Structure 1
Amino acid sequence: MRDIEPALHTAPQRDPRDPAGRSAWAWLGLATAGLLASCAAPAPPPALPAPPLAVVPAPPPPAVSTLPAPDLISQAGSPLEYRKDGARHIYQRNSTRIYKGQLPPLMHAVGVLQVEVDGRGNVRNVNWMRAPSHVPDVMREIERTVRDAAPFPAPVRMGGVTYTDIWLWDKSGNFQLDTLTEGQRSK
């Protein structure tokens, strides 16, 4: 026991290979610190200064329309008012196909058609509200008649309009529109 006691009170021996005099624990601590430093995320690169704001020139003013003014103009302020202008226009374009006088008691076809007209009088769309589907050839003929009548009077006060009219079709191929009809015979 005597041999152990002096060893406890003596200073640790220096390793002759270690010029700085570090112990094994010190070396282990340095190695661990180096390892941890190598695993750490790299520092973010320094922020670049923001680029100067680009000066965007103001857009040029809208070009003045080079389209000529529509030939036909409607001053109607509602679809109901425009319906009369549309019917008159179809009658003018199809004067030889308009049934003269009162229609017979039985019609070959009756259809309700919506017509969408843009601000220049072009037909944008036709939509059947009540189609005479039992006579598809009449449906096609009515749609063709409407499209061939374009351009319609331009609805300048409304900028565009969707109006509805009732087509009364006789078996002769002639027709009247409900807006301008001369009525129907009872017998």
Structure 2
Amino acid sequence: MAVVALVAGCSSPPPPAPPAAPVARAPAPAAPAAKPPSGRVSMATSEKAYRQDGARAIYAAYPDSIYKGKLPPLLHAIAVVETEIDANGNVRDVRMLRAPSHAPDVTARVRELIRKASPLPAPARLGTVKYTETWLVDKSGKFQLDTLTEGQL
């Protein structure tokens, strides 16, 4: 018996197993496209179409500041604003094309409201967009955007 144990202890290890055949694997799924921080995306194909999406986003950001119904015949201020949006919907620039000189507070407030509403919907098809909007402001401080206005008395 001692001889069998001695011989068994001296034997060489079994040969290694042959390498396994390569396994075909499905390609890893592509990483999902990065979503803009707001999660809102505009499928607009023009500046004019993007205006609608931008106006809706601003209305959604400030529901208590929207003037309900037809605006009065005399408005406190009208501001024409050009807003530049990057590919993620972030406001890059706010430029006053027509500022109400008698109401500098309105100019400052409009700029602030636009910047605080950022990011607006990401312009997916446009990449970036620069659009113009007219702000119609009542003496109460409430406003309508020309794109979504209910009209004037």
In structure 2, the residue matched to 1:183 is 151
**Residue type of the partner of 2:87?**
G
Does structure 1 residue 169 correspond to structure 2 residue 115? no
**Residue type of the partner of 1:153?**
P
Larger Rg: 1
After the TM superposition, list the runs of 4 or more consecutive aligned residues in structure 1 that deviate by more than 2 angstroms: 65-68
> Percent of aligned pairs with the same residue?
54
In structure 2, the residue matched to 1:84 is 52
Does structure 1 residue 146 correspond to structure 2 residue 114? yes
In structure 1, the residue matched to 2:41 is 73
| Structure 1 gaps, min length 5 | 1-64
Could you tell me how far apart the structure 2 residues matched to 1:150 and 1:67 are? 20
* Alpha-carbon distance, 1:69 to partner: 1.1
In structure 2, the residue matched to 1:160 is 128
Q: CA RMSD in A?
A: 1.5
* Alpha-carbon distance, 1:134 to partner: 1.3
* Alpha-carbon distance, 1:180 to partner: 0.3
Could you tell me how far apart the structure 2 residues matched to 1:72 and 1:165 are? 20
Structure 2 SS opposite 1:105: coil
Q: 2:64 aligns with which of 88, 92, 96?
A: 96
Encode CA deviations 1:64-95: one digit per residue, 9 max, x unaligned.
x9994111100000000000000000000000
Could you tell me how far apart the structure 1 residues matched to 2:65 and 2:43 are? 27
**Residue type of the partner of 1:122?**
N
In structure 1, the residue matched to 2:24 is none
Structure 1 SS opposite 2:113: helix
Encode CA deviations 1:39-78: one digit per residue, 9 max, x unaligned.
xxxxxxxxxxxxxxxxxxxxxxxxxx99941111000000
Could you tell me how far apart the structure 2 residues matched to 1:143 and 1:173 are? 14
Could you tell me how far apart the structure 1 residues matched to 2:32 and 2:96 are? 35
Could you tell me how far apart the structure 1 residues matched to 2:135 and 2:105 are? 14
Encode CA deviations 1:87-106: one digit per residue, 9 max, x unaligned.
00000000000000000000
Could you tell me how far apart the structure 2 residues matched to 1:81 and 1:75 are? 9
1:16-95 mapped onto 2 (5 Å cutoff): 68-70=34-36, 71-95=39-63
- By relative contact order (CA 8 Å, sep 6+), the higher-ranking structure is 2
User: Structure 2-normalised TM-score?
Assistant: 0.76
